């Protein structure tokens, strides 16, 4: 396994007429099995992270379900007949969620896990009031961080998307105007922008960063929100 390092930073954008260029190591069979030697493994994790980000950016993918993705060209090289195992895919994505991995991914809790977390929170609140049962509530509230194996892929993190949105508002002279989230996502005016077609939840989170920075204010209810940038 080559020890060439590809830093897991934001990949460069590609134009609509480009064909996605797979990295050279995609044609190297050992790339599809995580190596045990630490230095090689770290380099391999970095290479996989950079590749996943670039692939998702090119194909406008914001979330992945790992089980479903295993049969796609992202994790399966048909020419080689080699694919990444689910276990190794989870290991790579978990590394991407860490500080070392640049926080380039985030597990999405399953519906069941989210319900368990809510129930656990209610149990802890009740236990705090009664002064008993905290041990059981804490135990029952353990949520599997990987959920159903669905993950955000942050080829741009929310704070990076926030910066992109703020620059677009400035460039197009829309500061002080109220813009709907739908207009940002789907309008003809944004069709050539990188955030066009963005996942709705990711857009809300990114706008939320702008709000926390004091650069925006959100109006309306979920599903019909508008945002004013300052």
- Do residues 141 and 173 both lie within one domain? no
Q: Mean pLDDT, consecutive 10-residue segments, the chain of 230 residues?
A: 35 54 95 93 97 95 95 96 96 97 93 45 41 38 55 95 93 90 88 86 93 91 84
pLDDT value of residue 118: 44
Question: For the residues of the chain, what is the DSSP string, one character each?
Answer: --------SPPPP--TTSPP---GGGGSGGGGS--SSHHHHHHHHHHHHHHHHHHHHHTT--EEEHHHHTTSTTTEETTTTEE--HHHHHHHHHHHHSTTTTT-EEEPPPHHHHHHHHHHHHHHHHHHHHT--HHHHHHHT---TTTTSEEEE-SS-HHHHHHHHHHHHHHTT-TTSEEEHHHHHH-GGGTTSTTTT--HHHHHHHHHHHHHTTSEEEES-TTS-EEEE-
- Do residues 166 and 189 both lie within one domain? yes
- Do residues 166 and 116 both lie within one domain? no
- Do residues 115 and 142 both lie within one domain? yes
Q: What's the predicted TM-score (pTM) here? A: 0.75
- Do residues 99 and 124 both lie within one domain? no
- Do residues 189 and 219 both lie within one domain? yes
pLDDT value of residue 127: 39
Residue 4: inside a domain, yes or no? no
Q: Indicate which CATH number applies to the domain containing 103.
A: 1.10.10.570
- Do residues 84 and 42 both lie within one domain? yes
- Do residues 116 and 144 both lie within one domain? yes
Domain count, the chain: 3
**Which of 93, 123, 148 is the last residue before a domain boundary?**
148
- Do residues 141 and 92 both lie within one domain? no
- Do residues 130 and 104 both lie within one domain? no
pLDDT value of residue 220: 81
What is the residue range of 78's domain?
24-108
- Do residues 43 and 81 both lie within one domain? yes
Residue 2: inside a domain, yes or no? no
- Do residues 34 and 100 both lie within one domain? yes
Residue 3: inside a domain, yes or no? no
Residue 12: inside a domain, yes or no? no
Residue 71: inside a domain, yes or no? yes
Residue 10: inside a domain, yes or no? no
């Amino acid at each position: 396994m080559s020890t060439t390092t590809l830093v897991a930073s934001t990949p460069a954008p590609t134009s609509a007429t480009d064909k996605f260029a797979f990295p050279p190591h995609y044609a190297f069979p050992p790339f599809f099995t995580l190596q045990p030697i630490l230095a090689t493994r770290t380099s391999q994790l970095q290479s996989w992270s950079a590749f996943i980000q670039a692939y998702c950016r090119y194909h406008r993918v914001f979330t992945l379900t790992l089980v479903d993705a295993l049969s796609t060209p992202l994790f399966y090289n048909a020419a080689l007949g080699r694919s990444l195992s689910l276990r190794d895919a989870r290991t790579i994505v978990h590394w991407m969620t860490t500080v070392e991995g640049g926080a380039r991914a985030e597990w999405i809790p399953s519906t069941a896990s989210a319900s368990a977390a809510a129930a656990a929170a209610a149990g802890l609140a009740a236990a705090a009031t009664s002064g008993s049962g905290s041990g059981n509530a804490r135990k029952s509230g353990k949520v599997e961080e990987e959920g159903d194996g669905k993950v955000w892929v942050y080829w741009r993190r929310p704070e990076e998307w926030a910066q992109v949105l703020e620059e677009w508002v400035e460039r197009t002279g829309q500061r002080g105007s109220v813009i709907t989230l739908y207009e940002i996502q789907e309008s003809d005016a944004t069709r050539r922008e990188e955030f066009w077609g963005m996942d709705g939840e990711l857009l809300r989170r990114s706008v939320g960063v702008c709000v926390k920075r004091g650069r925006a204010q959100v109006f309306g209810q979920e599903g019909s929100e508008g945002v004013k940038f300052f």
